[in-house]
Amino acid sequence: MAETIRLLDIRETALSSDEVLAAIADPSAGGTALFIGTVRNHDHDQPVDELRYEAHPEAMKHLRTVAERVCENPAVTALAAVHRTGVLAIGDAAVIVAVAAAHRDVAFAACRQLIDDLKAEVPIWKHQHFADGTSEWVGAC
């Protein structure tokens, strides 16, 4: 399973879809699914100026658990997941996940499971700053 999980990280630096796709490149894969979560300019019908993400010190442990669960499917050949922390601007990539698998249906399903479980179980919190000066914390899990 360790060789299936090719890239896992939580970092303050910009994320790259090229890095993620290169990490999961696999000649045995017939399908690759990629999801990029970006900072949008609104939430709750309010303009958003910026976001700050903060991760619990054990967030990487939880991310590995999520990744290992997705890799229990033997048709998954490679997996990568990276999440950004710190201050992000509108349009920045906040999270990138990708899965390569023997077939496209497995790649799509596994990628969906990976992002959904990451959002539900990995302790990373979002602090949204709205244009009117208010802000709110949103728990990712």
pLDDT tens for the chain, 141 residues long, are 669 999 999 999 999 999 999 999 999 999 999 999 999 999 989 999 989 999 999 999 999 999 999 999 999 999 999 999 999 999 999 999 999 999 999 999 999 999 999 999 999 999 999 999 999 998 755
Tokens coding 9: 């990280």
Match 């100026």 to its residue by tokens: 49
Instruction: Please tell me the predicted confidence (pLDDT) of residue 2.
Output: 62
Instruction: Please tell me the predicted confidence (pLDDT) of residue 109.
Output: 98
Match 């442990």 to its residue by tokens: 61
pTM of this prediction exceeds 0.85: yes
Residue 71: give the domain boundaries. 5-139
- Number of structural domains (the chain) is 1
Is residue 78 within 8 A of residue 29, CB to CB? The reply is yes
Buried/exposed code over 97-136 (b: 16+ C-beta within 10 A; e: otherwise):
bbbbbbeeebbbbbbebbbebbbeebbbbbebebeeeeee
List beta partners, residue 81: 8, 97
Instruction: Please tell me the predicted confidence (pLDDT) of residue 137.
Output: 94
Instruction: Please tell me the predicted confidence (pLDDT) of residue 139.
Output: 76
Straight-line distance from the first to the last Cα atom of the chain, in angstroms, rounded to the nearest whole number: 25
Q: CATH number of the domain that 122 lies in?
A: 3.90.1170.40
